[in-house]
Structure formats: structure tokens, C-alpha cells
Structure 1
Amino acid sequence: MDKLKSMAAFVCIAEQGSLTAASQVLGASLPTVVRTLAALEADLGVRLFNRSTRRIALTNEGLCYLDSCRHVLATLEEAESALREDTGELAGQLTITAPVLFGQMHVAPSLNRFVRQHHKVRCSLVLADRQVNLLEEGIDLGVRIGRLNDSSLVAHQVGQVRRMVVAAPAYLSAQGEPAHPKDLLQANCIDFSGAGHSWWAFQNNGRMFTLPVAGNLEFNHVAPALGACLDGLGFGMFLSYQVAPHVAQGRLTTVLADYELPPRPVSVIYPHAKLLPARTRAFIEWIKTDLASEGCFTSATPIPAAPAILPCRCG
């Protein structure tokens, strides 16, 4: 039995969630994958999966072994990547996740530019407005917006964005520009929480406070809420990257800047800090520089010289 191939097959089964899907990814027949798993379990003397006709799930022993296998395979890949790095050629699979709108606007174009220079790297971008678990879903790195809490993942800050209130010039001409956040209580505020009401957060002299704003429009996604704001239908609170092109073009105006909360960091997060393949390290350096050059962050964005381990609860 080829132990490394068996371990790779086991990891693939765990990440794909089924023997059939794993066989397709591995390019092997289903019976071959079944035999490989059975041989590995027999060699270890433990059952790695609980299997039924409809589903497959890791046992406790399988969960523990999965982490060990990933560590061993990552170490091997790191060694091979170091050799390839000496040739100046990057190769292999790179899977990235990012928030939907930020990913569409900035990460995807940056990834395209990266692949144009490193055409042997196979890239997959997963856009999701949820906390994706990198290890469970087999993702190499993620781009996250916001403070990161309580995890062993490594977070490398690449920029920062502001949460800001904006309105169309026509709406401001009719409504008047607010001098204080409480003036929004008398205005139409566009909600994209989908909850029927919103509490917008501000600060004054370092103390945060919230206001229950309301309006006659609510959406469950930022894009239509931004569209309504552009149409002059009310005030909206958005992240700076979401409105930056419209502010630059004069289609939206920023208000209440003195009451904004501190900027939120934008970070690249990834597991296995000491076991990064060359392509992953290269992409981290690439996106750090590329995003900054695109102007999608607030001014005076600090760009760390090296990764820092930050507490992080996101996946």
C-alpha cells in the first residue's frame, strides 16, 4: 500500500463528503477508492468513516487522523514547492474564498492578473457571505473583512475599509445634509439587513452609540440597497469599497464622517502558517500589493511587512 496516496485519498474523501465525488476528483474508479480506504483502515486498525447507503461521516478517530494527514501532506507539498520555487515556476491548485461583493469587485480581478503571470497555477475562487471553514472545506486562504477573534488561523492584514453613510446629491438637496447622526431619525434610511429595521453604529469622542434608523425600503443584499441610494431614495450605510467608485464620480456624497467608527481591517487568513506552498505565499504577497494599488482601501492603510498571528474566530 502506498501510504501517502492512501492518505491523500482519505483527505479527498473527507473534503468531498462522498466516495463518488472523491473518485471523480482523484480520477480513479469508485471501487479503487473504496479498496484504498478499506486498506488504510485495515492498516491503522480503526474505522475512519461511518458509512451508510446515503451518507458518509468521519468518526472521532477519522477527525484526528485528518488533521495529521493534512499536516504530513502539507509538509511534503512544501518541500516540493521549495524545489519548484528554485526554478522560478509556480504550479498546483490554489483555492480562495472571499465575501461576494468584495470578491467580485477586487479579489477576482486580482486573481485573474495573478494567473496571467503564473499560468500553471490552477485557481478556484469561492464567493460567500458566510464564515467559510477553511480546513473543513479544503480552502487554502480567505479574504475577510472585520475584527478576527479566537482561532489558530493566521491573519495577515492587507488593508482596511470604513463603514460610512452616503446619499445621492439630489437627495441631500431635498433633505438637507445631517449635522449629527440623530438627524437620520427624521430621514429615509435604506436597510439591507432584511430584518425590517436597522441599528446604525457611530462614535462621538471615542464612545460608540447606535440609532434605530428606518425607511420604506429594505433588501437582503447590498447591491439593490446601493442602487436605491444611487437613485436618490434615502441614506445608506455601506463599506467604503462598496461605494468608492460612486463617490469618486460624484454620484454619492459621504456624510457624518466625523462620527464614523474606526476602520475595519481586511485580512488574508490561512491555516498551517509554517507550511505554505510557494504559490500560496506568492499569492498573499501579490494580493497585498495588488489590492493596495487598485485603491480599494481607505487612505493611510497600514500594510504589515510580515504575517502576524491574530486571534480569529472565522473559518
Structure 2
Amino acid sequence: MQFEQQMEENARAFLHGFGLKLEEIVDLIRPVGENELLLLAGSVVEGLANAESDLDLILIGDGPRLASLTLREERVETSTIIHPSGLEVSIDTYEPKELERVSATMRVLVHCLDDPDSIDTFPIIYDESDRKLLHRLATSIPLANEEAVVRSRAGAFVDRLPEVVAITRMIDHFSHREDAISHANLQQWDAASFSLMRSATDIVGALNAAAGLTNHNARWSIPLLRQAAAQLPPFDVDFAIDLMLSRVQDNTTFDTQVDRMNELVGVVAQQLPGLLPISAKIAEHFPITLARVDGAEATMPKPWEAAT
């Protein structure tokens, strides 16, 4: 409830600068059908907006288009309108079948988390549009048909989204780390640095998710991490940010970076101990990739030893 109140305060403060009230936003577009969902999402509600930010609306429904000019991607249509105040309003429209599809995937993922011994496959939501839809369904303000929004959130298991995002980012983290190990074995330090920085970005995403912040957009990683720190076991935020920007140039600096990342893996493990069984299950099939998610200390061999 506190998070929802904060989102509303963020939105009202932003809209006040344009002479608008939250209750007036629904009137910026066509009437919303009784089976449609309209959400205010994005940087405005998450407290990340600035004076140049636009307003992000999410419409899930099958009614008429919102504007004469619409950009169509594979699974979403985007329309833009300009309010007389100068505020740009972006509307992403999804057909109901898209929500049904990602809800079905989330149902499987939650089953995997709850009963890892019963599974032999683990679906991962890599599609950018799907990640965005789930995040915005979870982190948004309903502007119409609030009861339908509540039902849709329950059906999509958005309360479990932080766990799903965290384990996905951990898988990404170790995958990119293995790429870095391969480059380090060949003394390819530029390539190793690039892969390690990607790996560090992934672990920061996992930290954010462990604190309930599931925004998929990498440009918000650092400000979200500063928010997340208050919800997590103690760790050095600047230390984590430095990992995203640091290069390695020899085995010693590489080993140091990996050891520092292990400390952050431990923070995720402390915050979400429920992920350890599914991590162990995945590690049965990918022993190098996830065997190191092993608790608060998150110990591991030297990277070049692990790669042999």
C-alpha cells in the first residue's frame, strides 16, 4: 500500500506541473470499454521522471484505435497525442490475447519456482515487449475498471514478478560471466571487460528485482539501485555501480571483479532465499552457469578453474 501511495504522489506532483489532475487523465483518450484496462505507468509513477518526460499510458483492450497515426510493433501499437499544455502522452495498446499469453507463461514460471523438482524445462521471458507489459501491469496506477485490473494482476501473478525477474537476471549474469571467462582464458581483455560489465548490469538488475523494482530498462539501473539499497541487506552501492563501468586488464583484476560480484550474488541470495532451490535445479543441467548461487557467501572457484 505504501508503494501505491508513493506512485500516486509521484504522478500527482508531475501532472501538477502541467496543470493537470490525475483524475483528468482518463479523459485524454477515447472512452474505455468495460472490459478494457487503462493504466498510468512508466517513469512518472516510478519517480524517475523529469520535466522532459512523457506520460505513459497502457491500454489493454480490443476497442478502436486511439489516434489516426499508430506505430505497430509485433505485439503492441503505440499512439502519441500532445496535450495543450505541451505534455506528450504515449499510449501503448495491447490486445487482450497478449496479456493472456504472458499470464500463461507466468503461471508456468510460478509453478517452476514453487516446485522445482517437478520440472524439466524453465521458460524465460526474454521478449522486451513481454517484460515491459508485465512490469507495467505490476507497477502502475489503474485509471479505469480497477476491479478488472486487480483480477488481471492476480491472473498474471505479478506479485511473483520480482522473483521471476531476479532469477532471469541471475541466469543472464552467469551466462555473460562465462563469456568473460572464455575471453579471459584467451587474454582478450577488451572482450572480457565488455562481458563482465554486462554481467555486472545483470546482477544490478537482480538486486533491483530482489527489492521489488522490476523495471527492465537498463538506463534506470543506477537510480533504481539507489532506491533498492534501503530494502536489501547492507552492501556498497557505489561499489556495485563501479562494477558496471570498470575494465579488467589481467588475471588479477579479473579475479577481483568476479569476487566482488560474488558479494552481490550473496545479497540477492539473502534477500530471496526461495530462489535457491530453483537455482540448484537449473544448475543440474548448467553446472557452471548457476551452481554458484549457493547462499549468502556465494563462493565459487577461480574463473579459469571453473571454465576447465
TM-score, structure 2 as length reference: 0.26
Structure number with greater CO (CA < 8 Å, separation at least 6) is 1
Task: Give the number of the structure whose residues are more often helix, by fraction.
Answer: 2
Task: Work out which of the two has the higher radius of gyration on C-alpha atoms and give 1 or 2.
Answer: 1
Task: Give the number of the structure whose residues are more often strand, by fraction.
Answer: 1
